[in-house]
Every structure is written in C-alpha cells, then in structure tokens.
A and B are shown apart, each in its own frame.
Chain A
C-alpha cells in the first residue's frame, strides 16, 4: 500500500532525502557527545590536562551546534515534505471526486468523503512528518549507540543481548493487545456518537414523546461501555513505561556490576563506564520510540486505506469519445432501457423503457414514490449509464458525446438542490458564467425569483450562507430553476422542483417556460397533476416501468393510476369551471 502513495511524495523527493539525511546526522552527532565526555574523565582528568579538557569541551559544544543545525534542517525538510504530501493527497482526492459519477458519490456517504479529505489526510501527513524524523532517528540512534557501546567494550555490550530482546518482546506483546482494544474502542466511540447525533437530530421527537429519561439511560449504557473499554486499552498502554524502566534499570545494574569488575581489573575506565550507561538509556529509549511510532503508524494505516479507496474508485461514467459533437436538438429517445443501481442486485430499477420525446415538447412524469421517475431522467445527462439499451439525445447515443457537451445542453434541477455560499448573483452564474446582468434578471424573473430577491435589501448581492440556509425551501427551488434556465439548455429537467412553491407561482413558472424556452425540451417530474396536466406528453411511471403515456385526455381514459391520482387531487378544479 505504501508504494501507492509514493507518487504523491515525488514532487518533494529532495525534501524527503534531505530531511532523512538531516535526521540521521543529527542523531549521530548527538550520540558522539557522551563518548567525548568519557575522554574528559578518562584522559583529561586522569592526566590532569586542562588544555585537553577544554579542547574536548569545545569539541562537544561544536558537535551540539552541528546537531542543532541538522535538527533545524530536519524540522524544515520534514515539514515541507509532510505538508506537501498532504496537499498533493488532498488535491489528488479532490480531483478524483470531481470525476466521480453519481453512483460513485453514493457509494461513499458525504460525511465520509469529507473525513477522507480532511481528517484522514491530516493523520497521514502527520505520519510522514513524524515518520521522517522519528522513523529515521530511532534506528540511527539504536545502531550508532550499539556500535559505540560495542567499540567501548564488546564484552560489556553482551548485556544488551538480554536486555534488548526482553524489551522488544514485551513491547510487541503489549502493542498486539492494545491494537485489539483500540478497534473495540473505535466501535464504542461510534456507539456513543450515534446516540448523541440521533438525539440532537431528533430532539423534537424526544421531547414530544417525553423520552428524555429513556435517552439518558440509552446514553448511559453506551457511555459505560466506552469507559470500560477505554480503561482497558489505556490501562495496557501505561504498562509500556514501567516495563521499559525495569529493563533499563536491570541493564544499568548489570553493567555496573560487570563494568565495576572490569574497572577494578583495569579493563575499563570510569569515564567509559558512565558513558556506557548513557548509551544504555539511548538504546532502550530508541526502542520505546520505535514502538510508539508503530502505534501511530497503525492508526494511520486505517486512514491510508480510506484515502486509497477514494483514489482507487473507478469513475463509472467517463468520456468514451475524443470527438466533440454538437448536440443538434433536444429530442430524447429511450430504447429498451434497463438500469439498476445495485450491480449485484437481481431487480432492475428501470425495466424495458421505450419512450420518444420530440425536441421542444413539454413532458410530464408522474408516479408514486419509488416508481423510478428520478432514475429515468437522470439517464439523460448521463448521471448514470444504462445497463441495457440506449438513450439518445439529438438522435445520438448519449455515450457518444463528450460529457461536458452533453451536460452543458441538459440542465437539471435536482430534487435536493444545493446553493453555495456567495451572493445570489454568484449562485445564478453557475448557469452561465458570462451572463449579463440583464440575462440574470430575466432568468430570475422567469423563475418567479425576482419578487423575493428584490425584497432583500442587498438584492442580487445578498450573501447566501452555506447550503442557502437563510432561504426558505420555495425560494431555494426558484433560484435553482433560474440557475438552470440561465444555461439556455436544449433540455431542461425539473425533478419535483416546485414542491415547496405554491400553486399560483408554480403555474406562473410553467407559463414562463412556455414563453421563454420555446425550443427547449422541458421534462417535469411532479406530484401535482396540475403541474403536468397541460403537457404535450404525460408519462405515468409505476414500479420502474412506464405504465401509460399520452396527454391528459387520453390518460383519463386509458390509465387507472392517472385517473386515481387525478381524482384524489382535483381540488377546487370543478369549482373553477
């Protein structure tokens, strides 16, 4: 897996190499200092040579300064590499997501995509920065210290043959257990969070059913489970330190005993003995450091996997052709179309759809929840690709157009549309970047949005909050319609886009479609029959199939479903007559 991330580092290869070099050299220079100190004790003091002592002292200062310089270098280079890596990764993910189809987007949840771009990248770039410093430093420290220790006295260094394996094995055993507990802890965390989240979202339900006590006891249970697991996990982690201390102290005592004997027999000098003890600490500390790094890395492995999933997801709708063909008109043909969301599912969501829509027609689509109305229209701008059959726009298979060309000619107002932070004008310009203010105003007027925009003090300059939360549902829908109209599309699709708009306004909007978008094919999904009644063609969907198609009069005769819906809705119509 690590290999797959290398390309994202390649831009910062120099920083990586320099950083690693700096870290390694820093550790080495630091480690020589205690050795130099031993010369002060063994040579300088023993020979009562002040000049030598000062010389050695200056040497040590110089080494500390060199180490510091390398340390600063390592801090800088690892920050450059780590943050650069993070930025590249975010960029890679973001660009990839822009190529996702609806199906790809749906296979992740929005919240999870956001975490993968933010928190997970953070964790990973931290690992790179820390890894470059620690993962280099620890082994260099370990090896350098061992080499120096052996060179001081190989026999005495034999003590490590016992100390190191004992520490390594016990650290390994602890980490192994801790990992299990941490997976469990993650589940417990989710458990707590779900209760809080649902409580927050459903607080009106909680209050109106007077379930506060029930919620408290639900939370308490999850909270207790979390606490128990957390105590187990952290209780185990804190074993690390005392075990390391025990091993270190036993080693020191052993070295004192054997080393003391050697000093007596003259095989070792006192200064060397003390510096030896310093190296004991360094060696064991570096092992501790390694174990800590591994713990950190295991945590970032989960993040790495999640990020990789985003990067490796194959966009299932992409350009099949290099040729950029213009779309001649807004005719739409469905030829024996089959489609299912779930690749492995047995049932098709759309089955055997045959439909011919002529350019400039107004088409209404009605049907119950889950009858696949939305699915049907989403195939036109290739938000999904058909499984069988084909969809033709302007007489040509939609897959034979460039996606950009196709979608620029097909405007769609989604059921759940999003407005973005920025002014109303900026939002409308999504439809056409280069639109004149006049065009914008006329689109807003046609979508009956002008009336409320003008009521705002700032008019078109009114700043919308993220998601347009400072607008009502109906206002959002009207802005979305205006935005789509600005595209001057060949085909305009409205997916239940006037549900929050009152009937009178709805009628007005449809009227302006008729007048302003004469050439455009208008496809309108609606709940209210009134919204589609005067359409040239009304398609009645039922359970993924076209149950009937025709104009209002025909359907009143031929379609039971249509008649049914009509009678249930014919509010006031007869009064009007």
Chain B
C-alpha cells in the first residue's frame, strides 16, 4: 500500500537466515580488514591508555610472582628442607607468602580494571553507534533488516565485551607467563629446555591440525544451523496458516530431515571442539612424563640436582597452559574483531545531507505590521533567512509547497517519480490518489526530505527545501503514517512525543481532538496506562487514534496524513472525522487516502499513475472529466 515496496525488495536480499540468530556467535567470523579494525578499536581503547598501562603492569606483576613462586621451590628444597634449616625455611616461606599475595592482589587488580575498561568501551561503542544511527538517512534503514541491525547491539557488542573482559588480559598474561617460564627454564637447565622445545613443537603442531579440522566442521554446522533456524522462523511465523491448511505433518517431516542434518554436522563440529582440551591437556602430561624421566636420569647422572628438577617440573606444568589458553582465546578475539568491523561499518556510513541554514522561528503576530522573532508561543512561524547583504529576513511560514519537475528513484534505474510538478496553496487540502506503487507516499517522503531528489526542485514558501535545516523543515510538518508505531511508556508519554514539553492539559486536549480521550479514559490507568510492545494491548484503531493525537499536540503548520485512517473502520473513522477536520483547519494538508470518501472535500485531488500526475482538480471537476478518477471513484477502474 505504500511506496516503500521497491526498497524493501532490496533489503530482503541482504538478510539471510545465516546472517543473524543465535548461531552466529559460535562461528568463525574473520574480519576482512583486521588492521584497520584493530586501529579503530584501538582508538576507543586509547581513551583508557593510563588504565591499560596499569593493567599491563599488574599482569606483569601477577605473572612474575607466579613464576618466581615456582622458582623458590629450588632453594627451598635444596637449601632448607633437605638440610633441615627451619628458621631459614620460615623466612623463605614468608617471602613466598608475600610474593603470592602480591600476585593474587595484582591479578584481581588487573581483572577488575579490565572489567571497567571493557564495559566503558562497549558503552562508548553502543553510544556512538546509536548516536550515529540517528543521523543516518532512511535509505540506510531500508537496506538493512532490523534483525541485522539489532544483532550489532546484541551479538557483536557481546563478543567484543567478552573478548575485552577475558581474552585480551588473558592473552597478554599468557604471553608474559610463557616468556617468563621459558626464561626460567633456560636459567634452570639449558639442557632440559631441548626436551621441552621438542614437546612444545609437537603440541603446537597438533593444535594447529585440530583447529583446521574443526574450522571445516564448524562452518558446516553453521550452514546447517542457518538452514534449521530459518525454517523454524518461517514456520513459526506462519503457524496460523499451517493450522488452516492442515500442513502440520508436512512441516514436521521437513523439519525432521533438516534437524537430522544439523544433528550430524553439529556432532562432528562439537567432537572436534571437545578434542582441544583432552589433546592439549594430555600432551601437557606427556611433556611432563618425558621431562620427568629425562630429568630423573640427568639427576642420577649428577647433571641436575633434585631442587632444580622439582622446580623445572613445576614449570613444565605451567608452560603448556598459556598455549592452551591462547588457542582458546584467539577465536574469541577474531570473532570480536569481526563484530567490531560490522559496527565500524555503520559508523562510517554517510549522514543525512543537511546543509540548510534556514531555520524556523516563532514570530510576533504579523498582522501588526512587521514580524519579529520571539520566544513566546504566538502560533505564528517564520523562516529565518540569512541573506548575504542584508542582516536577516523573516519569511512568514504559510505552507506553500511546490514541486517542480521532480525526478526520483529509490534504486538507480527504477524511477518512481517522473517529472512531477505540483503546487499546494497555503491552507489547502491536497489529496493523492492512485494505485499501489504510483508514488503517493514517495511525494510526501520527499517533502520532508526523507530521501533526496535526483533532479528538479521542491520549494517551501518559495525556499528550496535543501536550504532549510532538516530539523526546522520536519518540525514544520506533522505526519501520521499508515504504519503506526508507539513507544514503550505511558499513553501520555506517547502523545507527548509530538511535543516534549506539552502540559497535561495540552495532551488531553490533543487526545480529545483525535477522539482518543474517550477510550483512554476507560483504560485501567487512563493516560498513565503503560504501553509496551508497540502498544500491543490496544486495538489497531486505538493505536491510530493515539498517533493522531501525537501529531495534534505537535501543532504543525503543515500536515501529512499517509493513509492515516486505513486501519480504522468506517464507523470509527466517522467519529474521528470531526477531530481530523479540526486538526486540518487552517493548515496545508497532504492526504493519501485509501478510501476516496475521505478526500472528497479536498481542495485539489491529484491522481498519480506510474510516477506521473495524470489528473488534477477538485472532486467535482474530476468527476466531470470522466477520466481516471471517475473510474476509480465508481469502481470501474482496471487497476494494474
């Protein structure tokens, strides 16, 4: 019914069942341009440079104390335990206690700081992304599905937050621990390190093989997951049609076969995922076994002493842990970077073009001679134009809208409006009539500059709309859309959306105007009734009445009604007609109507077809012409 159809087609291509949904976080998402994503993310983190340095220091402290602790085992055994030097042992143990406490304290400190850094960073990311989105043109929202955009706030942000919380510090600490342990091992026994090196190489090699294998199986699992989830989504959404057509058994059959495919693929993927732990873990034990036997022999041969061996074995247990850890976290980090890339993608989109400098101001009553700007609520508005030579000029706002030879297309090559010219005199009611896709909604979308025209000119009180700041332009235009959207909050909050500082009285007044007052009064808490889920607890008609009240409270000089009454039945429509008439009084109004009866009293009716205006005139004129309008009106039209 609206002309958004063309662009919707485009958006649906971009969403696939694979694109979102719960499966995504398990996958292997590789960022396309790792370097630049890292740099951008780095910029966000650099805000916390001081804290990050502190984190690294604490990680260092914690790792070093852990390594040192194991090192002290050697003198403890060699010098104190074996000779039985208890006072020395006590001193040594106290020192050890101090080192360990320091280590534990440091590891708490860095973890806690990282929580702060990661939560603050994702806070900044969320904030910037949302702020950015508010400035993006409608085209952006047409070409991305809500689910896809939502998942940037949920899945993508989640993985980033987790990666920063655990993985970043984890990897830093693993690298430090690994280096430290290797150094200590070399210090303890340059000979034994050869054994360790061989074993580590083996572990590294094995984990690479597993990673490669499991990657293959994981992408298979992802594909099947999308296949099943897509089916679930579609069938659940169409559940009522399934009932009506007795399609249940067929749906189950199809589902079972898809489900079985997923089970097989997922079992393989999960097997490999599960292999990582036992393989790496037992390789570590193997390393331990080999090291202790070789070390034992070396000790027997007198090359090593027992203290060194015990110490070295302790390190052997520690050395493989970081490898294990890094291999687990690397995927998390890659996933997070892929998520970050998607977020930065949005942040780099171009904002709506808004170069207009002309603003809307309140003015004193112009009848008194000349108008001047005022803060008072005079109900008189003017455009404040800054001219080059004169200081400034006030052009009274009248609502005189003109389109001159406008061409427009949502998608290049598919023109929606072709050479459209039209004029609306102030205070007139202009109606658009035409079949679906004729370009009715598009025209109103262009007046408030939701989209940019390709050629031609749209003027508003003689000013090119591109010269007017978007904020002022849209403030001067009230709009009631066919698709109604209410926000979570009270009924009063929703009406007040039209004018944030509206008094309670103004809200009630607007509701009365739209004939919404009656039913609102009967809601459990009246105007304070909470609405949630897009006003799910109200009927379609009631929601529309609220949206009309919302436009009424804004009190705009120009009003656009895009099939505003299409979801209200004719009886209810009659009830609000009076309110609507009152709302339209003295304003320029653009009406797109489904029912021709609602626009009969329009000053001018424009009949659109295939992106062109083919007829124009009053109801009577057009009937006399016996043209398209006449056909439509009498139900004879052969619409495409």
Cβ-defined partner of B100 (8 Å) among A202, A238, A245, A472: A245
| CB contact under 8 A between A117 and B232, given known A79-B270, A263-B82 | yes
Given contacts A208-B479, A383-B244, A474-B436, contact A83 B119 (CB under 8 A): no
* Distance of A118 Cα from B235 Cα, bound (Å): 13
Q: Which 8 A-B pairs have the closest CB atoms?
A: A71-B278, A57-B293, A75-B274, A60-B289, A202-B485, A249-B100, A238-B111, A418-B238
Are A99 and B115 in touch, CB under 8 angstroms? no
Interface 1/0 per residue, A34-78 and B, CB below 8 Å: 101100110011001110011011101101110110111011101
| Complex-state Cα separation, A233 to B520, whole angstroms | 41
A473 interfacial by beta-carbon distance below 8 Å: yes
The prevalent SS among residues of B at the interface is: helix
Bound-state Cα–Cα, A239 to B532, Å: 38
Interface check B636, CB cutoff 8 A: yes
Extra inter-chain contacts (4) besides given A37-B313, A208-B474, A256-B76, CB under 8 Å: A204-B485, A209-B497, A263-B81, A417-B241
The proximity string for B residues 235-256 relative to A, scoring 1 for CB distances below 8 Å and 0 otherwise, is 1111111111111110110011
The answer to whether B277 has its CB under 8 Å from any CB of chain A is yes
Give the shortest distance, in Å, between B279 (CB) and chain A (any CB).
7
A-B contact pairs, 19 of them (CB 8 A): A33-B289, A40-B293, A48-B300, A78-B274, A84-B263, A113-B236, A193-B154, A197-B146, A201-B485, A204-B479, A211-B497, A241-B107, A260-B76, A271-B310, A430-B247, A503-B635, A503-B637, A504-B637, A572-B635
Contact of A105 among B23, B240, B244, B270 (CB under 8 A): B240
Q: Enumerate A185-225 residues with CB–CB distance to B below 8 Å.
A: 189, 192-194, 196-216, 219-220, 223-224
A226-254 CB contacts (< 8 Å) to partner B: 226-227, 230-231, 234-235, 238-239, 241-243, 245-246, 249-250, 252-253
Interface flags, B564-607, vs A, CB<8A=1, else 0:
00001111111000000000000000000001110010000000
**How near does chain A come to B298, taking the closest CB pair, in angstroms?**
10
Roughly how many angstroms separate A212 CA and B497 CA in the complex, as a whole number?
11
Is A408 positioned at the interface, with any CB of B under 8 Å from its CB? yes
Given A230-B119, A472-B437, the answer on whether A57 and B274 have CB atoms closer than 8 Å is no
The reply to whether B639 and A504 contact each other, CB–CB distance below 8 Å, is yes
**B310–A98 touching, CB < 8 Å:** no
Which of the 9-residue segments A86-94, A164-172, A436-444, A549-557 touches chain B? A86-94
A542 to chain B: closest residue by CB: B571
Asked if A95 meets B286 with Cβ closer than 8 Å, knowing A274-B314, A500-B436, the reply is no
The listed residue (B73, B246, B272, B475) touching A407 by CB distance below 8 A is: B246
Contact yes or no, B488 A194, CB < 8 A: yes
Q: Which of B110-162 contact A (CB under 8 A)?
A: 111-112, 114-116, 118-120, 122-123, 126-127, 130-131, 133-135, 138, 141, 146, 149-150, 153-154, 161
Chief secondary structure at chain A's binding surface = helix
Select the residue from A203, A226, A278 with max chain B CB neighbours within 10 A: A203
CB contact under 8 A between A575 and B634, given known A57-B296, A200-B146, A206-B134: yes
Give which listed residue, A99, A215, A260, contacts B81 with CB less than 8 A.
Answer: A260
Render A245-285 as a binary contact track against B, CB cut-off 8 A, 1 for contact: 11001101100110111011000001101100110000000
The distance in angstroms between the C-alpha atoms of A572 and B637, with both chains bound, is 13
Q: Which residues of B contact A293 (CB under 8 A)?
A: none
Count of interface residues, chain A, beta-carbon cutoff 8 Å: 169
Chain B residues within an 8 Å CB radius of A530: 635
Question: Which chain A positions have C-beta within 8 A of B309?
Answer: 41, 45
Beta-carbon nearest neighbor of A55 in chain B:
B293
* Contact status B288-A37, CB under 8 Å: yes
A421 to B, closest residue via Cβ: B234
Residues B317 and A118 in contact, CB atoms below 8 Å apart: no
Interface residues in A524-577 (C-beta closer than 8 Å to B): 527, 530, 561, 564-565, 568-569, 571-572, 575-576
The B-contacting residues of A in range 78-133, CB under 8 angstroms, are 78-80, 82-84, 86-87, 90-91, 94-95, 97-102, 105, 109-110, 113-115, 117-119, 122, 129, 133
Q: Known: A118-B229, A223-B127, A472-B437. Contact between A208 and B477, CB under 8 A?
A: yes
The reply to whether the CB of B227 lies closer than 8 angstroms to some CB of chain A is no
Whether a CB of chain B sits under 8 angstroms from the CB of A488 is no
Question: Is there contact, CB below 8 Å, between A368 and B569?
Answer: yes
Is there contact, CB below 8 Å, between A79 and B436? Answer: no
Among A53, A84, A220, A564, the residue within 8 A (CB) of B293 is A53
Say yes or no for A505: interface residue by CB 8 A criterion.
yes
Instruction: Tell me, in angstroms, the Cα distance from A420 to B235 when the chains sit together.
Output: 8
Q: Separation in Å of the A52 CB from the closest CB of chain B? A: 9
Measured between beta carbons, the chain A residues less than 8 angstroms from B77 are 270, 273
Specify which chain A residues have a CB less than 8 angstroms from the CB of B479 in the assembled complex: 204-205, 208-209
